[in-house]
Amino acid sequence: MGKVKYVLLDCDNTLCQSERLAFEACADLTNEVMKAHKIDAQYTAASLLEDFVGFNFRGMLKGLQQKHNFTLSDEELEKYVGMELDRVTAKLREKAVECPGVTEQLEWTKSQGYPMSVVSTSAKSRVVASLEKCNLDRFFPKEHVYSAATSLDPPSSKPDPKIYNYACEQLGVKNADCITVEDSKSGATAAMRANIPCIAYVGIYGLEEGKEKEDQMAKLLTEQCKCVAVMRDWKEFPDIIKKIESS
């Protein structure tokens, strides 16, 4: 593809180990929603992750309504989205850590002259809280942090490619001239639909769930989402970039 013009990066479980923390924070709220609508279902962080990894809470609530056949009013939806954001942001500000090796590779990316941006499903305030806690905000001006939940009107969620299309438009770069890194099926699908070459970061699964899950996700993201490379450790990033540029 030649020289990469822009490096676009997902945040949750790609730059920062934040996904499980976020789902822990919203599990209780999800159960409050279920109880309020007399739905006989209880969720844990693990069960929410199984069904909704890569989705923001708005997208999750839409999925829950379909799964359990109930309806939230627009007012209720906005109330719960706001409550979840407050709870999750507080937890990430306290406990988020970077994915192993991220700082070193972002330093390398910066030294090589590649401009970088964050393109996330999550609300911007939540993303910024994670970046600040992990000391990664120095790599990304806040105006180059794009959120499907916050930057778009109306809000969206990956696998919808709108946030990628919007980010590229704002950055003044063609989609096909960028690369991105994603850890989830929804994120990698959004990149595929936006025609942006995607690197599948699966090392987080090995850290949190074991080698078998890491291998499963590598297979899924390459076969179903057409990721151009698999990254099991961030130290592989420079070689992957070089291989993509020479392809």
Cα–Cα distance measured from residue 101 to residue 113, given in angstroms and rounded to the nearest whole number: 19
Alpha-carbon dihedral 35, 17, 176, 161, rounded to 10 degrees: 10
Look up residue 225 and give its DSSP letter.
Answer: S
The pTM for the full model equals: 0.85
Cα–Cα distance measured from residue 60 to residue 51, given in angstroms and rounded to the nearest whole number: 9
Angle at the Cα of 119 (from 116 to 124), degrees rounded to 5? Answer: 110
Q: How confident is the model at residue 128 (pLDDT cuts 50, 70, 90)?
A: very high
Q: How far is CA 19 from the centre of its chain?
A: 8
At 75-112, the pLDDT tens digits run: 999 999 999 989 989 999 999 999 999 999 999 999 99
Per the CB < 8 A criterion, the answer to whether 238 and 107 are in contact is no
Residue 42 has pLDDT above 80, yes or no: yes
Q: pLDDT averaged over the chain?
A: 94
Which amino acid belongs to residue 29? L
Helix intervals (H) in 19-176 = 19-36, 45-52, 57-68, 74-95, 102-111, 124-133, 162-171
Which H or E run contains 218?
helix 211-223
Q: How confident is the model at residue 247 (pLDDT cuts 50, 70, 90)?
A: confident
